[in-house]
């Protein structure tokens, strides 16, 4: 038996995906997969002027990178006929009426209402226009925009996050559904699509709460039952100071995070648990997040997003990841193998650090050493074991150096690390020594001696 549960993610291809809408996509996906439902990816491309193919391509690519798989797709720009039918139906039942005010006139009305302490609700002047008035506006070159008439009645639903929600229709402003150029507004297109595509759960940010009240009446006006829909409105994310997300955090595209070496699960682990009572953990797949997901875990308060938390989870994932798991995220590191990865991984905070360490392994660094250091390196070189380096040579070599130079601890280890890597920190010397091999170690020590 097929599960009829269906969610949708409807991004607009007018920019790259960022933290806020990725969280919406992820929450939809986790909930959907937990209930074995269907995930609809709907491209909201009705804004032809701002929509670009590169942004749409990026949406598909970034969702794939995050592991968010869709079952089906739709495109709003191919559905104008359906929106036109809905428009004509709303006109026929008297719920859609033409208005001719300019943006300046509407702004002036709002200013007066606010100065009088009244909410800026549209005064329905368009409903009182005579045919003569309408013809006069048309003669002036004004084209109408069309508003949906909100019924003066209570609007209620039980929200999966907010609990019982109540609005009075009289307190809502009649929304514009059709622009002057005849293009449908998101409010109309979204409702038509949700109804015709049999979406069952609408999960989005709490900035859509009032919009949901309007859409419930619109669903009814189009002849559908609002009880067929379940709504969940997630608290919007803030920064660590409780302010709205800055451009750096809120508008950072997934591509920016990827270029900084962030793994997809680092971001998913943080966004899935943000604002819940559950701890943020470093899971290496979405399965635990799917299994443990529940809207009851989300608080009503505004969650604070920290890029430092993402970086910390990212670091832990990298430190624990086997090579085969990390390899797909390193397509350019063609010469990287499991031994090299295991040697370096605990020194990486992000995949962005890897090229630097690979350069170090290649010997692409220079250093100048004191005469005392050079003498020490000569002794270190003389102690290099001749044994089979397929085994672990470090313990024997370290013991030999200690006996010959009477050095130990940092005085023994740090100069060797400098000579081999050009740094005073890095992988365990035992792993590094085995990875470089006797011939390369000999070459680097000789270079240090002659520096």
Q: What is the pTM of this model?
A: 0.86
Evaluate if residue 174 carries a pLDDT over 70.
yes
Residue 200 near residue 2, CB atoms below 8 Å:
no
Place of tokens 């990390």: 326
Judge contact between 161 and 234, C-beta under 8 A. Answer: yes
d(CA 232, CA 206): 8
Asked: is 363-449 a CATH 3.40.50.2300 domain? The reply is: no
The set of residues, in sequence order, having a beta carbon less than 8 Å from that of 8 and lying 6+ positions away, is: 28, 39, 40, 41, 42, 193, 194, 197, 199, 202
Give the span between the Cα atoms of 13 and 258, in whole angstroms. Answer: 19
- Architecture, CATH, for domain 93-185: Alpha-Beta Complex (3.90)
DSSP H or E stretch at residue 195: helix 186-196
The encoded tokens of residue 44 equal: 């909201």
Domain ranges of the chain: 6-80+187-234, 93-185, 247-329, 363-449
Label residue 367 by pLDDT band (50, 70, 90).
Answer: confident
**CA of 434: how far to CAs of 54, 343, 391, 422, in Å?**
46, 9, 8, 17
pLDDT band at 107 (very low <50, low <70, confident <90, very high): very high
| Domain boundaries 6-80+187-234, corresponding CATH code | 3.40.50.620
* CATH 1.10.1160.10 at 247-329, yes or no: yes
DSSP 8-state code for residue 145:
E
201 dihedral zone (left: phi>0; alpha: psi -120 to 50; beta)? beta
Q: What is the pLDDT of residue 252?
A: 59
Token readout for 226 is: 């609002």
Q: What is the pLDDT of residue 422?
A: 86
Does 183 have pLDDT greater than 90?
A: yes
Percent of the chain, pLDDT > 90? 73
Q: What angle do CA 30, 31, 37 make, to 5 degrees?
A: 105
Angle between helices 394-405 and 371-382 (to 10 degrees): 130
Predicted local confidence at residue 249, as pLDDT: 53
DSSP-assigned letter for residue 175: P
363-449 and 93-185 share a CATH fold: no
- Supply the pLDDT for residue 1: 37
SS3 205: strand
Task: Pick the most confident of 190-194, 400-404, 433-437.
Answer: 190-194
What is the pLDDT at residue 247?
47
Token reading at 392: 């672990």
Q: Which two tokens stand for residue 81?
A: 């006929």
216, 242, 407 from 113: Cα distances, Å: 27, 31, 83
- Distance CA(34)–CA(184), nearest Å, equals 34
Q: What is the mean pLDDT of residues 177-189?
A: 95
User: Is the predicted pLDDT of residue 258 greater than 80, yes or no?
Assistant: yes
- Cα–Cα distance between 353 and 265 in angstroms, integer? 18
Percent of the chain having pLDDT more than 70? 97
């Amino acid at each position: 038996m097929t599960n009829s549960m269906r969610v949708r993610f409807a991004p607009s291809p007018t920019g790259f995906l960022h933290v806020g809408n990725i969280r919406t996509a992820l929450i939809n996906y986790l909930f959907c997969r937990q209930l074995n439902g269907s995930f609809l990816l709907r491209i909201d491309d009705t804004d032809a002027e701002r929509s670009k193919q590169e942004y749409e391509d990026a949406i598909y690519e970034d969702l794939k990178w995050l592991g968010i798989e869709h079952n089906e797709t739709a495109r709003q720009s191919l559905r104008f006929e359906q929106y036109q039918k809905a428009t004509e139906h709303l006109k026929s039942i008297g719920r859609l009426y033409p208005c001719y005010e300019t943006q300046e006139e509407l702004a002036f009305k709002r200013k007066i209402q606010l100065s009088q302490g009244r909410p800026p609700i549209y005064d329905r002047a368009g409903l009182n226009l005579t045919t003569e008035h309408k013809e006069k506006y048309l003669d002036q070159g004004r084209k109408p925009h069309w508003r949906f008439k909100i019924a003066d009645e209570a609007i209620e639903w039980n929200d999966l996050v907010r609990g019982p929600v109540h609005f009075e229709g009289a307190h809502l402003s009649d929304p514009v559904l059709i622009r002057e150029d005849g293009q449908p507004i998101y409010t109309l297109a979204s409702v038509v699509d949700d109804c015709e595509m049999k979406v069952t759960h609408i999960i989005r940010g709490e900035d859509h709460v009032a919009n949901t009240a309007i859409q419930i009446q619109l669903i009814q006006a189009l002849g559908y039952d609002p009880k067929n829909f379940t709504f969940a409105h997630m608290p919007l994310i803030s920064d660590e100071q409780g302010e709205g997300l800055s451009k750096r955090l809120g508008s950072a595209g997934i591509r920016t995070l990827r270029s900084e070496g962030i793994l997809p699960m680092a971001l998913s682990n943080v966004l899935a648990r943000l604002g819940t009572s559950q701890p943020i953990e470093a899971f290496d797949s979405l399965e635990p997040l799917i299994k443990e997901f529940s809207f009851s875990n989300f608080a009503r308060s505004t969650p604070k997003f920290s890029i430092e938390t993402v970086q910390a989870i990212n670091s832990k994932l990298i430190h624990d990841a086997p090579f085969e798991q990390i390899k797909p995220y390193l397509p350019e590191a063609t010469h990287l193998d499991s031994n090299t990865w295991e040697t370096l991984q605990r020194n990486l905070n992000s995949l962005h650090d890897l090229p630097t360490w690979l350069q170090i392994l290649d010997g692409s660094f220079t250093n100048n050493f004191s005469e005392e250091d050079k003498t020490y390196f000569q002794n270190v070189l003389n102690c290099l074991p001749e044994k089979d380096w397929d085994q672990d040579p470090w313990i024997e070599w370290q013991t030999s150096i200690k006996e010959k130079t009477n050095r130990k601890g940092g005085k023994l280890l740090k100069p060797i690390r400098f000579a081999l890597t050009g740094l005073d920190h890095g992988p365990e010397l035992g792993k590094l020594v085995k990875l470089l091999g006797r011939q390369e170690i000999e070459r680097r020590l000789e270079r240090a001696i002659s520096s």
